[in-house]
Every structure is written in C-alpha cells, then in structure tokens.
Amino acid sequence: MAAYASPDLLAHYGASVWTMLIVVLISVPMYICATASTPVAVGLLMAGVSPAAALVFMLTGPATNIATLMVILKELGKRELALYLVAVVSVALASGVLLDYLFERFHWQLQLTNVAHEGMTGLVYNVSAIILAALILMQFYKKWRPKKQSCCAH
C-alpha cells in the first residue's frame, strides 16, 4: 500500500473524506482478501490513518479485488460491474463518514499498542498445542494407514 501512498500522506489529511477517497483509489485495484486486509488496516491505524479510512480500506479492498471484478464483468456485464463498484464505494464512504461522526460525537479515543505474545508460552498453551498436534497426526494416520487385506480372498 505504501507504494501508492505513504501512510504519512494519508495521516496528513487526517479524518476526512479525502483520505477515504485516496484509500478507495488504492484499495479497488489491490488484490487483497478479507483476512489479509485486517493487518494492513491495523498498520494504517498504527501509522496515524483515521479509523474511518481503515474501515473504508477493509470494506472496499476485499469486495473489489480483481478476481471478483472479473467474475462480475464476465457473468453480468459492464453495466452491472459499474453499479457494483458504485454501490461498494458509496456504502464504504458512507460507513466511513458515519464512523468519523460517531468518533466525534461520542468523543471516542483509539488506543493502539504493540502487544507481545510472551503470555502464550504457559502450560495451558503448550498442552493445547500438543493436543492439537496429536489430533492432526491421528487424522494423517487414519488417512494413510495401510488397508487391511481380507483373509479369505478367492
């Protein structure tokens, strides 16, 4: 994302529709799934981009990846593709504006911290990992174990 617009540029515009429009222009052609958009959005938030712009990214990026757009174009046509894009972008921008309004109206503050995962090395986590590994190995064994030959083949 930083190749198209640096987080500093996006943070410069702050919580505005301009930032959301820049995010739309970047996220629409970007090939990103919903799972991958979450850490990117967190990175944007950590860089100082508004929560509304991060929300717009999370809504438009996965909904408008190139694979989805090509399927819509092939199956439904150009007109429907244009309507789809207008609808997705409009709803994302409206959601961003609403989120900005809610942050301002209720004086919400976004508190972001970098958290380490040192607490995930305790006994419960280790035992859970061992149980999970054992269950996975059992499934592999069931799938690939040799089949028993019948004793009375004619």
Determine the Cα–Cα distance for residues 24 and 21; give it in Å rounded to an integer.
5
pLDDT at 5: 64
pTM assigned to the model? 0.70
Residues in the chain: 154
pLDDT at 108: 92
pLDDT band at 6 (very low <50, low <70, confident <90, very high): low
Asked if 49 and 81 sit in the same domain, the reply is yes
48-95: pLDDT as tens digits: 888 999 999 999 999 998 888 999 999 999 999 999 999 999 999 999
Asked if 77 and 126 sit in the same domain, the reply is no
pLDDT at 152: 63
Would residue 152 count as lying in a domain?
A: no
Domain carrying residue 24:
7-105
pLDDT at 61: 93
Q: Are 89 and 28 in contact (CB under 8 A)?
A: yes
Asked if 98 and 52 sit in the same domain, the reply is yes
